[in-house]
Structures are given as C-alpha cells and as structure tokens.
Amino acid sequence: MKKLIYILLIIVLFGSCEKYIDIEIPDEGRKITVNCFINNSDKPILMLTRSKFILDNGYEFTMIDSAKAYLYQDGVQVAEFFQQDSSNISNPIEIGSYKANYTCQPGKQYTIKVIKNGETITSSTQIPNSVTIQSIDTMTILNQDGYKNLRVKITINDPANIENYYQFSFRTISFGYEQILSFPVNQSDFGLTGTTYQSYLITNDKLFNGQSKTYIFDLDAGNFYDIVTPLSVVVNGVSKDMFLYYQQLQKYQNAQNSFLAEPVMMYTNIENGLGIFAGYSSHITNIDVPRLTDDIIIEGKNSTYDHKK
C-alpha cells in the first residue's frame, strides 16, 4: 500500500508540472523576395514580394510595387523590367510582376538588380545548353496492380567533364486545358527515401557524367482517354541554382506532412534578399497518344472508368 501511494505521489508531482520557456526569435525585417526563372525562349518575368516573419498574421505575401529592376548579360545592361500598369490589374498578385522585353541565350552570365526604397538586391545565373536527346520511346505496360500505364523511356547524352542538371515533366491538353501529369518518383534524387508522386523529376549527372542515361517514367493510362491525346515530353537542362532550389523545395514539402520532421531552410541565391534566380533551356517533344482507357462519360451522365487491360 505504501509503495502504491509513493508511485501515485510521483505521478502527481511530475504530471502536474508545466514549464514555459520564452524563446526570443530575432526579427530581421521583411526582405525583398525574388522569383525569376529565365530560359532561351520566353521573355523573363520577375516576381517581387516581401518575406514574412514567423509571427506575422495571415498567409498572403505583400507584393512589391514600383520597384526598379534591370537585367545584365555578361556585365552589360541589356534590358529593364517593366511593371504592368497597376490601374489595369484585376489580380492583386500581378502587382509584383515585372517583365523584360529580351530573350536570353545559353552560355551567357545573367545578373538582375532590383532597387526599392534604398534597398538593392542582386543575383546571377546562367542558362545551360539544351539537352541532347538520343531517343524517346513509348509503350503500354501493366503495373503490379494490373492497371495500364504509358511507359516513357527517355535516353539523353550527357556532356563530359562538366556538371549537368536535368528536369523532366509531362503535359497534356484535355478539354482545351493544359494539364501537368504526376508520376511516381524515387526520392533518392532529392536526398530522401521512398517513392512519391511528383509533377517533375529533377536530377544531376553525378553517377553518369559523360555517358548516355535512360530514364523511365510510368504515366497513368487514365490521362489518355481521348481518341488521341497530345503529350508533351519536356526535358530541361537546368542551372545548379535551379537544381538546389527544387531539391530543397521537395524536402520542405515533405516536412510539412510530418510533425517530427526537422525544419528545412529554402535555398536562395539572392544577395541582400531571399528567393531564387535561375536559368534553364527547354527541349519539348510532342507525341500523339491513342486512347488507352475505355470510354469515359462525363457531364452529368454515369461515369465509367476502367483502365485495366
């Protein structure tokens, strides 16, 4: 009996104690945050926002209006970013959008400079050369659950003696709208374990520098229910900055789904600010894929969807 009372006393003493620890989190201010990806075909678009402090209320970011922004190629100014007339903007997010009337080139060094209320931020990057595609093959397979997939095999030729970074993605057009397809990805390329569904794969040539490499992607047959579905196979050569940014982005997204995950710091290459300025070159191959599923009836009628063989 005495032993029982002693145990209960310990439980009450330790169970009723609560200790609050005040942690001082330094507030370094709201920094200019950049989001800009340049390539060899589209005019550069620059998004400017203010960063948020962890204790700030709300989820929306403040868009930066009336900033001065410039684009340099190999140290020479080649363009200025112009903001759309704010009086004609219906979507508030476009207030922080700036566009330069210039087409960038692979192999050149590009720098952006942004000036706002005495603050100046800069960043530099390059656009890699286009990826050399050796072949793209497609075939219909059955996965382990007996369902049809469209298997896409992409073989690339990797240049020797330099670091190269690649990004793969797939797009279709359905009912007049573009759709980005998801597919299973081994997360080892992100420094993680397991497999998840992603809308892209980003990787490097660390294990096959100077050699050819074949990547295999399995797309759900349910994406191809029209008589013919146009499929765009997108293979980008990306800068190291872009690779590191997306690698950390995947780790950050995984951490949001785990209470026990360690905090992830997002990659940034912006001097005196935050965000990403990165380059890529795009190689797009268009393929017409015949119907891989049984008929799908939609718009108020009974729907049937069976993509088994």
Which pLDDT tens digit goes with each residue over 12-45?
444 545 554 554 555 455 699 999 999 999 999 9
Domains (ranges, CATH) in the chain? 32-126 (2.60.40), 132-262+281-290 (2.60.40)
Identity of residue 148:
K
Give the model confidence (pLDDT) of 121-144 as tens digits: 999 999 999 999 999 999 999 988
Q: Is 309 helix (H, G, I), strand (E, B) or coil?
A: coil
Residue 98 sits at φ, ψ, to 5 deg, of -130, 145
Rounded CA separation 306/292 (Å) = 10
The per-residue pLDDT for 57 is 55
What average pLDDT does the segment 284-296 reach? 82
> For 73-84, what is the mean pLDDT?
94
Compute φ and ψ for 39, nearest 5 degrees.
-140, -175
For 265-279, what is the mean pLDDT? 94
Whether 287 and 153 have beta carbons less than 8 Å apart is answered as no
What is the pLDDT of the chain when averaged over all its residues?
Answer: 82
Note the pTM of the prediction, 2 decimals.
Answer: 0.79
Question: CB–CB of 234/171 below 8 Å?
Answer: yes
